[in-house]
Structure 1
């Protein structure tokens, strides 16, 4: 059974007009008729019938159209898959926190796109929990997360281990003990949707402490850092985001936190061999 004849039937079945179908395919009408007749002879079924001036599908023609549509859809999918083997192309979406997007990924993406100009990269600012869900839902191709991922269908690639610190502005810390800071100022916290909040909860529980008051400002590292610098209260932050402030003395460490932030990259295991995911995974792991 020739694909050419099946393709001709597909177009005829869609147009239900031999003249239009022949023009669409670039055939003469007699050539098109011969191809349909050859297919009918091979299948031992009449596929088309005419009622007056109308061309209609027979019962066999209607059934064949279902199979032919599925066949050519599969062929198109096969062609797309084969085309992808030529190299990365199309849209690549990376989910990551606002901090990772602005401080880590933005400089990397420029270099990646210089290497693979056929790829357009989208950065999607999401916290770790939402980043994991976005990969599961095929909204993002990969995600950079600051938490463990226990999903069995995910591949997790380690990127970095980062210290966490209990900090306050240096202005507040002058002549104040840890206990006095706890009593006089609120704790600036991430919301519960943020995976980093688990580290915070375990810190207070293991030290048998409880903040006198708390301000929840969402999942933005930068917002919490600004609140600390403004003297609003104290917070637990990763060392990377406050490196400059520690160096210039505007933020003081009240106490190191024993649990570190583990940064990793995730993608669905079944998609690991896709050129876009394979190349961006290797590139980020090498450049991080």
Structure 2
């Protein structure tokens, strides 16, 4: 068994397709197929369900992937420990929820100070980003917090308020019953707060419409399709023009924090250390300006 076999296995598991894995790794497709078969032969276990749409991990494959992710992470960490220089460089894989208002200034500051770091950004929902950081697929992520997770540590980024966004200036809470809720998919922290609030109020909306893009949700609210709950900063550009209206909600549901998470047991590279310093500096500047 070679290290590249594990890298091939990880790619096929992630892509769900030999052809896509071959493209990602820049390998010949037949080579990828052969290496997967050899790996299964060596370990005397099939790892995939093979079907017309591609390949899907079976139970043994999912167990194998946990080990492979850890092994490859350890190899990457080993290289970083011995090759990491005083000047941050290399790759930093970061996830983020869509509504982090501070993100663009944090990234701009980081790019300006550390141009040799290849920082890749992946959007997602809070729950899936937590899982990806825990599974070593991301070095860290901006999510809605706080959280309690035995494998992760968290760093404060910002504190904001959630507001109920409607087309009309006058809106009564009871209108929720007949008005569609426009929300992100399950796993979104804002959606969880909205659903908990309505549950505690004894209100059950008749229709929930799911979207993947914040701008689509806000534009849909502006034309009267429904209502939503988002950070106040994310909707200011529309509320100032009167296209939508924001309504405060009880503080126990309306206050939320954005945090940055990373695994506790992963080696702290210079790239990550400098990224956390930028986050801390940015938070300090904001707290001083608000004070």
TM-score by length of 2: 0.64
Q: Which residue is 2:118 aligned to?
A: 120
Unaligned runs of 5+ in 2: 1-73, 284-291
Q: 1:245 aligns with which of 206, 218, 238?
A: 238
Q: CA deviation at 1:80?
A: 4.7
Q: What is the alpha-carbon distance in structure 1 between the residues aligned to residue 77 and residue 96 of structure 2?
A: 30
Q: Which residue is 1:132 aligned to?
A: 130
Q: 1:104 aligns with which of 98, 102, 105?
A: 102
Change (3 A) 1:193 1:178: closer
> Does 1:206 find its partner at 2:204?
no
Give the 3-state SS of the residue equivalent to 2:99 in structure 1. Answer: helix
> Does 1:225 find its partner at 2:218?
yes
Alignment of 1:162-241 (within 5 A): 162-169=160-167, 172-173=168-169, 177-179=172-174, 181-218=175-212, 220-241=213-234
What whole-Å deviation, never above 9, does each CA across 1:32-86 have from its counterpart, x for those lacking one? xxxxxxxxxxxxxxxxxxxxxxxxxxxxxxxxxxxxxxxxxx9x98675233142
> Does 1:273 find its partner at 2:268?
yes
Larger radius of gyration: 1
Q: Which residue is 2:157 aligned to?
A: 159
Q: What is the alpha-carbon distance in structure 2 between the residues aligned to residue 273 and residue 173 of structure 1?
A: 49
Runs of 4+ in 1 over 6 A off after TM superposition: 76-79
Change (3 A) 1:154 1:78: closer
Q: What is the alpha-carbon distance in structure 1 between the residues aligned to residue 191 and residue 215 of structure 2?
A: 15
Give the 3-state SS of the residue equivalent to 1:106 in structure 2. Answer: helix
| Contact 1:163–1:257 (8 Å) recurs in 2 | no
TM-score by length of 1: 0.64
What whole-Å deviation, never above 9, does each CA across 1:177-210 have from its counterpart, x for those lacking one? 443x335421212222223222012110222212
Change (3 A) 1:211 1:255: farther
Q: CA deviation at 1:163?
A: 0.9
Q: CA deviation at 1:112?
A: 1.3
Unaligned runs of 5+ in 1: 1-73
Change (3 A) 1:277 1:202: same
Q: 1:264 aligns with which of 256, 259, 266?
A: 259
Q: Which residue is 1:45 aligned to?
A: none
Q: Which residue is 2:46 aligned to?
A: none
Q: Which residue is 1:92 aligned to?
A: 92
Aligned length: 208
Give the 3-state SS of the residue equivalent to 2:118 in structure 1. Answer: strand
Give the 3-state SS of the residue equivalent to 2:209 in structure 1. Answer: strand
